[in-house]
C-alpha cells in the first residue's frame, strides 16, 4: 500500500511564477492492485507519479510505503516514509522497489534490446551473466527474445513497448509506475499493454498508471480510478475489475 498525506508540490516556490502542481493530495493506493490516475494534461498526474516513484520530492507532505515485500526493509519494519530519505537511500529504493514505464519508453538508442533491459540491474552488483539470463527470460516472456540483439531504434512501437516493460521488471519490483504508456500506441497495442498489466497484477504487483486514455482507465483489470484535476484529487471510483 502506498499512502500519501497532504502532499504538495510547488514549482518555483517563492517566485512570481510559482505553480502548485499538487495541492494537498491525500490518497491511498492499494497493494497488488491496478490504480489509474486519470486527468487532463497539466492536472498533476505525472508529478504525482514522480513523487510516488521517488524521482522528485514534495514541497510538503509525506509518502509512506507499507507492506512491500522487498528485502530492503529491515526485519520487523512494516512501512517506510520516503519523503524524508536522503538521495543515497532513495537510489536503492527507486532501483529495487519501482519499475518505470515512460511515455516515450526512453530506451537508450545505440544499445540492443537486451542491453536496455539489463541496464537498471547493472548497478545492483549481480553478475552480468545472471542479469543477462534474467533479461532474456523477460524478453521471451514478452515475445521479443528474437529481437534481443537488435538496436532499439530498429524496433517497432509494440516491440519497444514490450522491451520497456521488460526493463521495468528486471529488478523484480513490487510497484510498476507507468506514465501515459499508451500515448504512442494504437488500440491493439494499448489493449495488449493492459493485458500485460493484468498479468503483473495477478503476480501481486502494485501498478500505478497515469493516463487519460479510455482504453486504459476503462480496461478490465483496473481496480481503481483516481481523478486528478488542478493538482487535487477529484472523485474516485472503482475500475472494471471482473
Partner 1 sequence: MILEPGILALILLSLITSGTILYALRHIVPILYAWDLKSGSEGQLQLERRTYLLSTLLTWAFVAELTSLLLLVYTAENLHERFTGAMCAAGVFNLNAFGYPALLLKLGNFLLAGCWLVLNRADNSARDYPLIRGKYLFLLVLTVPLLAEGVVLGLYLLNLQPDVITSCCGSLFGSRAVGLGSELAVWPMRPLGLVLLLAYVLNLGSGSFVLRKGRGSYLFALSGLLVLFLGISAILSFVAPYFYELPSHHCPFCLLKADYGYVGYLLCGGLLVGATAAAAVGVLQPFATRPSLRQIIPALQRRAVWLGLTLFTLCFLVATLRIITTDFTLFG
CB of 29 to partner 1, least distance (A): 17
Q: Is the distance from CB of 59 to CB of 8 less than 8 angstroms? A: yes
- Identity of the residue, 61 or 221, whose beta carbon is nearer to partner 1 in the bound complex: 61
Helix count and strand count (H, E) for the chain: 7, 10
CB of 47 to partner 1, least distance (A): 16
Q: Does 83 interact with partner 1 (rule: CB under 8 A)? A: yes
Q: Does 62 interact with partner 1 (rule: CB under 8 A)? A: yes
Q: Does 57 interact with partner 1 (rule: CB under 8 A)? A: yes
Q: Does 61 interact with partner 1 (rule: CB under 8 A)? A: yes
Nearest partner of 179 among 44, 46, 22, 51, judged by Cα: 46
Taking CA 92 as the corner, what is the angle to CA 125 and CA 65, rounded to the nearest 5 degrees?
Answer: 140
Cell numbers 537511500 correspond to: 89
Coil/strand/helix, residue 234: strand
Q: Does 6 interact with partner 1 (rule: CB under 8 A)? A: yes
CB of 86 to partner 1, least distance (A): 5
Taking CA 142 as the corner, what is the angle to CA 139 and CA 143, rounded to the nearest 5 degrees?
Answer: 80
Q: Is the distance from CB of 231 to CB of 23 less than 8 angstroms? A: yes
Q: Is the distance from CB of 193 to CB of 185 less than 8 angstroms? A: yes
Question: What is the rounded distance in angstroms from the CA atom of residue 53 to the CA atom of residue 57?
Answer: 10
In Å, what is the CA distance from 96 to each residue of 90, 144, 213?
10, 24, 28
CB of 194 to partner 1, least distance (A): 34
- Identity of the residue, 1 or 5, whose beta carbon is nearer to partner 1 in the bound complex: 5
CB of 60 to partner 1, least distance (A): 4
Determine the interface stretch with partner 1 among 41-49, 51-59, 124-132, 178-186 (rule: CB under 8 A): 51-59
CB of 75 to partner 1, least distance (A): 10
Determine the interface stretch with partner 1 among 59-67, 118-126, 158-166, 190-198 (rule: CB under 8 A): 59-67
- Identity of the residue, 14 or 16, whose beta carbon is nearer to partner 1 in the bound complex: 14
- Identity of the residue, 39 or 231, whose beta carbon is nearer to partner 1 in the bound complex: 231
Q: Is the distance from CB of 136 to CB of 166 less than 8 angstroms? A: no
Site residues (vs partner 1, CB under 8 A): 5-8, 57-62, 74, 80, 83-89
Amino acid at each position: 500500500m502506498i499512502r500519501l498525506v497532504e502532499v504538495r508540490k510547488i514549482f518555483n516556490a517563492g517566485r512570481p511564477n510559482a505553480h502548485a502542481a499538487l495541492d494537498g493530495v491525500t490518497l491511498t493506493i492499494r497493494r497488488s492492485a491496478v490504480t489509474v490516475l486519470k486527468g487532463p494534461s497539466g492536472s498533476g498526474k505525472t508529478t504525482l507519479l514522480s513523487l510516488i516513484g521517488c524521482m522528485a520530492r514534495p514541497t510538503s507532505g509525506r509518502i509512506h510505503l507499507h507492506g512491500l515485500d522487498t528485502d530492503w526493509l529491515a526485519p520487523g519494519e512494516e512501512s517506510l516514509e520516503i519523503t524524508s530519505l536522503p538521495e543515497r537511500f532513495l537510489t536503492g529504493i527507486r532501483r529495487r522497489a519501482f519499475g518505470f514505464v515512460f511515455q516515450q519508453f526512453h530506451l537508450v538508442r545505440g544499445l540492443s534490446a537486451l542491453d536496455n533491459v539489463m541496464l537498471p540491474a547493472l548497478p545492483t552488483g549481480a553478475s552480468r551473466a545472471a542479469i543477462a539470463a534474467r533479461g532474456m527470460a523477460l524478453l521471451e516472456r514478452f515475445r521479443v527474445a528474437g529481437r534481443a540483439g537488435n538496436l532499439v531504434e530498429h524496433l517497432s512501437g509494440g516491440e519497444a513497448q514490450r522491451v520497456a516493460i521488460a526493463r521495468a521488471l528486471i529488478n523484480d519490483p513490487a510497484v510498476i509506475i507507468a506514465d501515459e504508456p499508451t500515448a504512442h500506441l494504437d488500440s491493439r497495442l494499448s489493449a495488449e499493454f493492459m493485458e500485460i498489466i493484468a498479468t503483473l497484477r495477478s503476480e501481486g504487483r502494485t501498478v500505478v498508471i497515469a493516463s487519460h486514455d479510455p482504453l486504459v482507465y476503462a480496461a478490465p483489470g483496473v481496480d481503481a480510478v483516481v481523478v486528478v484535476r488542478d493538482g487535487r484529487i477529484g472523485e474516485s471510483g472503482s475500475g472494471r475489475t471482473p
